[in-house]
Amino acid sequence: MTDNWTVTLPCTRREAEALGQDWEFLSALDPVPTIVGEEVVAFDDNSWRIVAYFDRKPSKQAVAALQSQISGGHEAEIIVEKLPEEDWLVMSQQGLAPVHAGRFFVHSAEFDSAAPTGAVPFIIPASQAFGTGGHETTSGCLAMLDQLKRQGRRYGHIADIGTGTGLLAFAAQHLWHSAYVTASDIDPVSIDVTARNAAINNLALGQGKGRISLCAAMGTDHEMIQRRAPYDLVIANILAGPLIELAPSFAEIIRRNGSLILAGLLDVQADNVLRQYRRHGFSLIRRRDEGDWPCLHLIKRRRYGWRRPLRPARGTSQPPGDYGTW
């Protein structure tokens, strides 16, 4: 019989980021928890929370230690609760349940059934989720990429900014197998994860055609990302705030009539994101909604940014380690 508990504590975004990456601190707790950081109020860095998952009842010392990492944590409302077994199973299996979107079928190594006939399978080990997002953002992007291919669109230079586990870069490389594909993430750990996942799926890494180049970067602020521009297609499945921050940078690196796929934002955030991108010469071509999570396909309509003397802020405040579900 499982005995699973959660500790939920309000915090700031900065505190959630720091705690989620403090492996030395977390490994000293008994039992060692899994930390999930969540955005509570859109665009409000002071309205986040952490949820610590324990495989048995946490001690008072473990709870106090978590509180000590949060400013005013001992005065904040903290929730310690035992999860019913069926709830824990649903929660834990969310990271393992296969995703079938377009021609793609994504599953973990533990999946022991056959993929649907004709589907393109990818194996992505379950990763520690940090931040917002989930199956809806993943499936929305995969379905959007699949549709672009079916429409006959051709892309020779592709970038996946905020690649997480590498899945969307893998899908793009499969669809446009002769393209130069660049995959980046703010978190070096994510780049290591992507490299391992590429090996699991027999995908080639490197600088040439049909290969995936990896780098750790804040947004587009990396020599390799800039050197390989302009891009025909950029994919960014991150958070709404960083997407808004990166609008001028994406305008700089995408060629005229190039495509941009945005995801990771909530439906209530879409208008603000689109407003910013329209200011930088993008037009919305298609919107695909998966629950509360839209996936947006935009086209850069006018010549803006590339080879024009701009000074965009190429960095981003995207939290490190934000892998979403996959």
Whether 56 maps to a domain, the answer reads yes
One domain for residues 27 and 50: yes
Same domain, 145 and 272: yes
Give the mean pLDDT per block of 10 residues along the chain (326 residues). 81 84 81 80 80 87 91 79 65 62 88 88 65 66 96 97 93 97 92 93 96 96 96 94 94 97 91 95 94 93 52 58 48
- The pLDDT, as a whole number, for residue 127 is 46
CA terminus-to-terminus distance, the chain: 27
Two structure tokens written together for 27: 């490994």
Residue 185 marked as a ligand binder: yes
Amino acid at position 145, single letter? L
The answer to the question of whether 237 is labelled as a binding residue is yes
| Residues 202 and 157 placed together within one structural domain of the fold | yes
Asked whether residue 54 falls in the same domain as residue 129, the answer is: no
With H, G, I as helix, E, B as strand and everything else as coil, classify residue 259.
strand
Residue 320 resides in a domain:
no
Cα dist from 256 to 15, 85, 223, 305, 311, whole Å: 40, 53, 21, 9, 18
**Shared domain check, 131 and 28:** no
CATH number of the domain where residue 28 is located? 3.30.70.260
Residue 60 lies in domain: 5-93
* DSSP element (H, E) containing 72: none
- Nearest-angstrom CA–CA distance, 95 and 107: 9
257 is in an annotated binding site: no
Per-residue model confidence (pLDDT) at position 310? 45
- Alpha carbon of 117 to those of 17, 98, 103, 125: distances in Å? 41, 15, 10, 22
- Asked, for residue 239, whether it belongs to a domain, the answer is yes
10 and 68 in a single domain? The answer is yes
Q: Are residues 68 and 52 in the same domain?
A: yes
DSSP 297: E
288 Cβ partners below 8 Å, 6+ apart?
140, 143, 144, 294, 295, 297
The residue out of 93, 125, 144 marking a domain boundary is 93
How many domains in the chain? 2
Where residue 123 sits, what CATH number does that domain have? 3.40.50.150
Last residue of a domain, one of 45, 75, 93: 93
Looking at the structure, tell me whether residues 264 and 152 fall in a common domain. yes
326 in a structural domain = no
C-alpha 146, offset from chain centre = 19
Say if 54 falls within a structural domain.
yes
pTM of this prediction? 0.70
* Residue at a domain's end among 32, 67, 93: 93
What is the C-alpha to C-alpha distance for residues 321 and 188, in angstroms, rounded to an integer? 9
Whether the link from the prior residue into 98 is cis, omega within 30° of 0, is no
Write the single-letter amino acid at 306: W
> How far apart are the C-alpha atoms of 324 and 319, rounded to whole Å?
11
Looking at residue 225, what is its pLDDT?
Answer: 97
* E-state strands within the chain: 5-11, 34-39, 48-54, 79-82, 99-101, 104-107, 120-123, 157-161, 180-185, 212-216, 231-237, 254-263, 282-290, 293-300
Computed over its alpha carbons, how large is the radius of gyration of the chain? 20
Residues 84 and 117 both lie in one domain:
no
Asked whether residue 315 is domain-assigned, the answer is no
